[in-house]
């Protein structure tokens, strides 16, 4: 009897999704030959809700190792709305279970980040055979040391910082580079250190704008004619940390600064008098071919997922722990985030280098 394995990619795209799909598929075919069929669910959980799936041909998994994005398509379907019946009167959980049954799936691989893992755990609790695979450029999935997509994004963000150095130095400017990361600062921290940023601001550590400005002035007094700030998009000030999110977002809107980077740049220029500019690489950090590291990691994760399928070990998500690929129960992972702790080694490296953390 053939085993039918479903695969979906959910949430934001990132480099390494296709490499992971390929790793899982090729390992499954190698293990089971013609006794396995792979079913692609299109556009994430939206496809599972709406019955948008198709049987895949083995040839579709060739030539995708180096491709960015996802051949299955992706869409954000917020976990908080999964049990909410909206105007279309669709019971999403019931619909996903129905599609799983109609597609005659024996299990489903869910590639995604925190929201994806929450829904994966929900489906597991509902009795479906689910395996998660940790994807996100934020590197913030609990229980794994690294997620695929992260290192490629670090490479891209680092290149942005590298290129900004020359223009900052040429024009004697302060440059604020907005790096992706709404709640977790891993990407900003790693790229900031790799790119030689002078100031690194992350969401886990609210910044004091006076300290930030003082760091810029200290460099100027030392004869440095420019400063580079790596700012996580989710960074916020010590004053904002005392407010509710709705309150400080409203205050930013009133002032005309929707992002932390805009506000920080304006304040630095006002306090120090230094000409300040903003650079927002945005979705460039999600795009393009995965790095060699991520290709290897994605292949490791994909092949390990195939072994879990073969062993019928479900209700788990793949993880890298102390350089070994393993798995964690979905119930232990869902709803938790891996944020930058105060005693993080990389924060200590930044401090030892004299990098200001605001």
- pLDDT confidence tier of residue 214, bands split at 50, 70 and 90: very high
In the chain, CATH 3.40.50.460 sits at 153-286
pLDDT score recorded for residue 237: 86
Task: Please give the share of the chain, as a percent, with pLDDT higher than 90.
Answer: 78
Q: Are 185 and 232 in contact (CB under 8 A)?
A: yes
pLDDT score recorded for residue 69: 93
- pLDDT confidence tier of residue 319, bands split at 50, 70 and 90: very high
Average pLDDT over residues 288-316: 97
pLDDT score recorded for residue 304: 98
3-class secondary-structure state, position 181: coil
> Does the pLDDT of residue 257 top 80, yes or no?
no
> Does the pLDDT of residue 97 top 90, yes or no?
yes
The phi and psi torsions of 34 (rounded to 5 degrees) equal -85, 10
- pLDDT confidence tier of residue 249, bands split at 50, 70 and 90: confident
Active site residue 342: no
pLDDT score recorded for residue 244: 81
- pLDDT confidence tier of residue 238, bands split at 50, 70 and 90: confident
Separation of alpha carbons 219 and 39, rounded Å: 57
> Does the pLDDT of residue 42 top 80, yes or no?
yes
Q: Which CATH architecture has domain 153-286?
A: 3-Layer(aba) Sandwich (3.40)
**Count of C-beta atoms within a 10 Å radius of residue 129:** 20
- pLDDT confidence tier of residue 299, bands split at 50, 70 and 90: very high
Q: Which CATH class is domain 3-149+290-333?
A: alpha beta
pLDDT score recorded for residue 168: 82
What pLDDT digit, counting tens, does each position of 52-68 carry? 999 999 999 999 999 99
Average pLDDT over residues 265-279: 91
pLDDT score recorded for residue 245: 78
Average pLDDT over residues 173-199: 95
* DSSP-derived pairing of the beta strands 174-179 and 130-134: unpaired
Separation of alpha carbons 68 and 16, rounded Å: 7
> Does the pLDDT of residue 282 top 90, yes or no?
no
Residue of 106, 138, 140, 155 with catalytic role = 138
Separation of alpha carbons 289 and 18, rounded Å: 10
DSSP 110-123: EEESHHHHHHHHHH
What pLDDT digit, counting tens, does each position of 98-117 carry? 999 999 999 999 999 999 99
In the chain, CATH 3.40.50.450 sits at 3-149+290-333
The phi and psi torsions of 169 (rounded to 5 degrees) equal -65, -40
pLDDT score recorded for residue 254: 75
Average pLDDT over residues 214-242: 90
**Count of C-beta atoms within a 10 Å radius of residue 162:** 14
pLDDT score recorded for residue 89: 87
- pLDDT confidence tier of residue 251, bands split at 50, 70 and 90: confident
| Contacts (Cβ under 8 Å, ≥6 apart) of 298 | 16, 17, 19, 20, 22, 23, 148, 290
CA angle 180, 181, 184 (to 5 degrees): 160
Q: Mean pLDDT in the chain?
A: 93
The distance in angstroms from the start CA to the end CA of the chain is 60
pLDDT score recorded for residue 250: 76
pLDDT score recorded for residue 125: 96
What pLDDT digit, counting tens, does each position of 20-41 carry? 999 999 999 999 999 999 999 9
Exposure string of 213-245, with b = 16+ CB inside 10 Å and e = fewer, is bebbbebbeeeeebbbbbbbbbbbbeebeeeee
CA angle 8, 140, 299 (to 5 degrees): 50
CA 83 remoteness from chain centre: 24
pLDDT score recorded for residue 198: 96
- pLDDT confidence tier of residue 218, bands split at 50, 70 and 90: very high
């Amino acid at each position: 009897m053939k085993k039918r394995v479903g695969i979906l990619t959910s949430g934001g795209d990132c480099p390494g999704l296709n490499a992971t799909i390929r790793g899982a598929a090729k390992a499954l075919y190698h293990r089971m030959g013609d006794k396995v069929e792979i079913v692609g669910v299109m556009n994430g959980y939206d496809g599972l809700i709406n019955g948008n799936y198709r049987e895949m041909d083995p040839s579709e998994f060739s030539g995708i190792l180096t491709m960015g994005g996802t051949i299955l398509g992706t869409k954000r379907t917020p976990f908080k709305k999964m049990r909410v019946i909206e105007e279309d009167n669709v019971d999403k959980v019931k619909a996903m279970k129905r599609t799983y049954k109609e597609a005659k799936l024996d299990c489903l691989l869910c590639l995604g980040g925190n929201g994806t893992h929450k829904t994966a755990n929900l489906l597991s609790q509902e009795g479906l055979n689910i395996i998660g695979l940790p994807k996100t450029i934020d590197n913030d999935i609990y229980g794994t040391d690294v997620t695929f997509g992260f290192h490629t994004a670090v490479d891209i963000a680092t290149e942005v910082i590298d290129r900004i150095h020359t223009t900052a130095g040429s024009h004697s400017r302060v440059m604020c580079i907005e790096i992706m990361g709404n709640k977790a600062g891993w990407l900003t921290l790693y790229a900031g250190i790799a790119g030689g940023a002078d100031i690194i601001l992350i969401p886990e550590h609210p910044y004091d704008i006076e300290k930030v400005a003082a760091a810029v002035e200290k460099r100027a007094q030392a004869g440095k004619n420019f400063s580079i700030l790596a700012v996580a998009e989710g960074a916020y000030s010590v004053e904002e940390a005392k407010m509710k999110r709705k309150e400080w977002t409203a205050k930013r809107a009133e002032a005309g600064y929707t992002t932390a980077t805009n506000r920080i740049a304006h304040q630095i220029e006002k306090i120090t008098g230094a000409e300040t500019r903003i650079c927002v690489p945005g979705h460039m950090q999600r795009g393009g071919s995965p790095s060699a590291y991520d290709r290897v990691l994605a292949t490791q994760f994909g092949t390990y997922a195939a072994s879990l399928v073969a062993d019928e070990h479900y209700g788990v998500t793949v993880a890298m722990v102390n350089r070994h690929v393993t798995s964690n129960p979905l119930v232990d992972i869902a709803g938790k985030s891996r944020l930058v702790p105060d005693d993080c080694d990389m924060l200590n490296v930044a401090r030892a280098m004299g990098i200001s953390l605001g």
